[in-house]
Amino acid sequence: MKKILKYGVITLAVVIITIVGFIGFGLRSMEIEDQYGDYQMIYYKSKDGDIIVNEETSEFGIVSKNWKRLNIRTKENNSIDLYTFVSKVSYYANIKIYRPKTAIEEIAQMDFPDIQNLIEKEKIELILEHQNE
């Protein structure tokens, strides 16, 4: 009888942990959707160290991501939220995410023409292009 009780408790614990995990995942997904709206695909596709370029404002920055926020380091700001970076001019933005193929030092001190030069030389790879319509 003790063996059946032990397996029952273990099974119940696994079921409870699974349900709590699904609820937590759903709440996290809802928070990201609430925070970023149409820009949530940028959050999911980008990684730390990626280069984000706002074609509308000719600004760029380096992505710094944690489990529920995506911040961008630019020349002007040490840390700015993705939504603020993207919607500076208007809601309609053309955003591109690039991933460096090799370690590129001192990206934060580059200018926009330097980033365009890296794109032309294919030293950074296009990961995502997002444009609101």
Interval 57-82: pLDDT, tens: 888 888 888 888 899 988 887 888 88
- 118 part of a folded domain: yes
Strands 80-81 and 94-100, by their bridges, are unpaired
- 101 part of a folded domain: yes
DSSP E strand stretches across the chain: 51-54, 59-65, 70-73, 80-81, 94-100, 124-131
DSSP E strand stretches across 1-123: 51-54, 59-65, 70-73, 80-81, 94-100
- 29 part of a folded domain: no
- 89 part of a folded domain: yes
- 19 part of a folded domain: no
Structure tokens at 69: 């926020």
Q: Across 21-25, 28-32, 53-57, 86-90, which has the greatest mean pLDDT? A: 21-25
- 27 part of a folded domain: no
The predicted model scores a pTM of 0.78
Q: Which structural domain range is residue 71 located in?
A: 38-131
- 24 part of a folded domain: no
**Nearest CA among 28, 50, 49, 26 for reference residue 130:** 50
> Domain count of the chain?
1
pLDDT-derived band at 129 (thresholds 50, 70, 90) equals: confident
